[in-house]
Structure 1
């Protein structure tokens, strides 16, 4: 098949690209050209997709068996893709997000019919609006859309954590390695699902060119669920160090983070603070034999080894480090104040 990816160099898309190339497909990437030469065998188109006129000229005369956009986040961007690719592709795949599901959900496990209602995170609401627009074009114009909903997907280059600063997750690992306390939201008992990018690619590639997936929304996740305490414990084990966990209410982290310039409300209250379990029955019906093959302890060991061997990925984040120290100190001060107040109240 002749396949076009818009984007195609991120955590999710890179694993998919590698798998499609290995299967012998003709893969094209439309990117701004800032990360050239990452995948041998791929054909590159250099253009900023936001320049619709330029993209239309570049794509003139081209048709594809499938097009997937990994960097469309708002309805106007989805509408632009409809204008660009209507009549030019047999399948258009929109990468949405499982964070768009109702938060907190009133019914688990989550399925594709779970309402898309997230009052905490604009990112999630915009993804849901994109889905609504594209499905309307499917119904009214025959636009061959497939919607894919990933949850928390990771790879060897990025260890998954719940809370981090602008520079990614390394600072959390650095704190573990230094024997410093690590902040975990809530009491750490909420359930979460992590999916390795290789497993996501397995499900995604089974949907590419799949006529039964047209007009459908499909979530792709692992079936493994862990508490956040377990997740952080697995990461510490992979690094070979003990875990020193400090638990803080998610609402406190969200409000305190604002003063530091962080927007934690969406990522915590609108996503990771809520327990999630996924029912992948629909995916397994569309892609017979699909099964996530990488347990998180396996993936964490792989990521730890890779990150420790690549210093260029170890991005220090002093601001986030100070934030964590401030949270730990504040919680300890609050504990002491409450304990002192109890003593003062004894007559």
Structure 2
């Protein structure tokens, strides 16, 4: 297969403008990038955008899912949790950038750093805005104003924060150029995290069936919902970008919404007004800590981020997908291949809505 530069040369020769071609190719640099993951909601978009940018892309994962990307991708199969096996598999390989989408704690990140510190030009690692300690110190939230989460009771945020503390040490010691990107709540094709109960297609099912949808709090917490094709621009824009070395960024949508809008916008697309009932997050977490902890510890606070830093250092990052457009994308995907009702979550949402109705009747009885 011809290289990206060869394709450009052929195009410009055809147009008889070899002089312009020469100048342009001086500015085009094809880099070799490895994505650890590569088939997740965000990482599949990073692969596609990396190919669009002309990079040579390799993907490492366990090989349980193979996606048809719009270009040639090298597939490397293995299990990153097998630390020794992972390091052995990467021996002799060199990459301009390694994008790690599958590290969730310090141990995971340490394995990546130890494996690539002598064979990669840069590590770009996916963290999360969950690492910010609540309540925030700034609004909209700025990276330089916030502290890292320090409460082990919310394991996801705590472990990601511990991972970042380790990476800051790597940055200080100069072992490897590191760029940290912190997504906020991000949706896209393949997502399993949409909705208060992460009920996904159930949202469409319940709106069409006239069933209530449970919202945490009063639904007016400000938020900006991000979609994976936009977020991928930040990761790919960081590849080989020395301005990002040693830096941490959040990269989010900036369309100001509130949480109720998630269901209301689905209703507008479907042409059906949803029935939303509101339950405090401190009660939801008692009903199912594993399912609702993220609401209580993270999403009950404003999710509006200041993107000035990422826009300054990664000019290619721009948000193009509105909430309406993104949810239409999700609906199209659901109806094409993911229109499955999660019966357990549907029953749980029914039960929560019934409890809400009972509380309402009890409150009515007090109004005498």
TM over 0.5: yes
Task: State how far apart, in whole Å, the 2-side matches of 1:173 and 1:270 are.
Answer: 27
Cα RMSD between the aligned structures?
A: 1.7
Give distance in 2, aligned partners of 1:11 and 1:161. 12
The one of 52, 61, 66 aligned to 1:36 = 66
Match of 1:133 in 2: 166
What secondary structure does 1:11 align onto?
coil
Q: 1:228 aligns with which of 259, 278, 282?
A: 259
Task: Identify the structure with bigger relative contact order (alpha carbons < 8 Å, sequence gap 6+).
Answer: 1
Give matches, 1:74-223, under 5 Å.
74-113=105-144, 114-117=146-149, 119=151, 121-158=154-191, 161-164=194-197, 168-223=199-254
Structure 2 SS opposite 1:263: helix
**CA separation of 1:200/1:36 partners in 2, compared to 1, >3 Å: closer, same or farther?**
same
The separation in 2 between residues aligned to 1:158 and 1:241, in whole angstroms, is: 23
Give runs of ≥4 in structure 1 deviating > 3 Å: 156-162
- C-alpha contact (below 8 Å) 1:193/1:223 kept by paired residues: yes
SS at match of 2:250: strand
Q: How far is 1:279 from its partner?
A: 0.5
Match of 2:20 in 1: none
Count of residues in Structure 1 that have an aligned counterpart in Structure 2: 335
Instruction: Answer yes or no: is 1:263 the counterpart of 2:291.
Output: yes
CA distance in 2: counterparts of 1:290 and 1:75, whole angstroms: 28
Unpaired runs of 5+ in structure 2?
1-30
Tell me, in whole angstroms, the C-alpha distance in 2 between the residues paired with 1:239 and 1:118.
Answer: 42
* CA distance in 1: counterparts of 2:259 and 2:96, whole angstroms: 40
Residue by residue, what CA displacement relative to the aligned partner does 1:248-278 show, whole Å, maximum 9, x if unpaired? 11111111124xxx4312x101222211211
User: Partner of 1:14 in structure 2?
Assistant: 44
> Which residue of 2 is the match for residue 305 of structure 1?
332
Secondary structure of 1:104's counterpart equals coil
Q: Give 2:356's match in structure 1, choosing from 322, 331, 341.
A: 331
Give the Cα separation in 1 of the matches to 2:96 and 2:139. Answer: 36
> Secondary structure, in 3 states, of the residue corresponding to 1:264?
helix
Greater mean deviation of Cα atoms: 136-145 or 64-73: 136-145
Unpaired runs of at least 5, structure 1: none
Q: How much has 1:118 moved relative to structure 2? A: 5.7
When normalised by structure 2's length, the TM-score is 0.87
- Give the equivalent residue in structure 2 for 1:248: 279
Write the distance in 2 (CA, Å) between the matches of 1:163 and 1:60: 43
Q: Which moved more, 1:61-70 or 1:113-122?
A: 113-122
Deviations 1:185-235 (A, max 9, x none): 111100111111111112221111101111100111111121011221111
How far does the alpha carbon of each residue in 1:41-83 deviate from its partner, in whole angstroms, 9 at most, with x for none? 1101111011122122211111110001111111111111111
Structure 2 residue 319 is matched with structure 1 residue 292: yes
C-alpha contact 1:159 1:300 (8 A) present in aligned 2 = no
